Amino acid sequence: MTSAPPASVLDLAPVVPVVVIEDAGHAVPLARALVAGGLPAIEVTLRTPAALDAIREIAREVPDAVVGAGTVISPGQVGDAVAAGARFLVSPGWTDVLLEAMRGSGVPFLPGVSTTSEVVALLERGVREMKFFPAQAAGGTAYLKSLSGPLPQARFCPTGGIGPASAPDYLALPNVACVGGSWMLPSDAVAGRDWGRIEALARAAAGLSAGGTCR
């Protein structure tokens, strides 16, 4: 039985792994490694044919994981992801049609923004938690810091180009609750099924906080 969705994705851990799964057979051991390392929120992107099967397997076999779907860009994907067991949704951008589908899904969602106008438009619609994407290319920490003054009610999960060196700078910002990234999932470790290495990298990521010190 699928667990209830979290009240907020942003408060589960300082880092949300962004996972691209090519082989659904990797899903369960990969998720177990991330959870063991202290990263329970796992965003499986809908970029591959294996993604929905991966979400389904993680939801069924890894109860301590909070599995979600990323790269959600259509109402159809919203329904498919939730049916597979996704407990949150993340989009790279949004439209009113997509927003209403996510709002009606019954699970938390993070619509993607990259401009001040998009943030204001979501605030008008009652949405305060957002993905900032692509973070580095869209202005990075300087841009997000500039938003915190006029728009303090918006909370972000920046994703895109963030690694272990830059993550603490994002986490130091008052309007950033967590960051998304894939650096704890090197492709050679996934291909080689080196789950111990992934768990160790996840543990290091879970310990990140503002200033680079462990929480």
Task: Report, as residue numbers or ranges, the catalytic residues.
Answer: 43, 131
Structure tokens at 77: 């994907």
Any idea which residue has 């709002």 for tokens? 103
Q: For 109, phi and psi rounded to 5 degrees?
A: -145, 150
User: Which residues are CB-contacts of 193 (< 8 A; sequence separation ≥ 6)?
Assistant: 26, 29
Amino acid present at 144: L
CB atoms within 10 A of CB 137: 10
CB atoms within 10 A of CB 95: 13
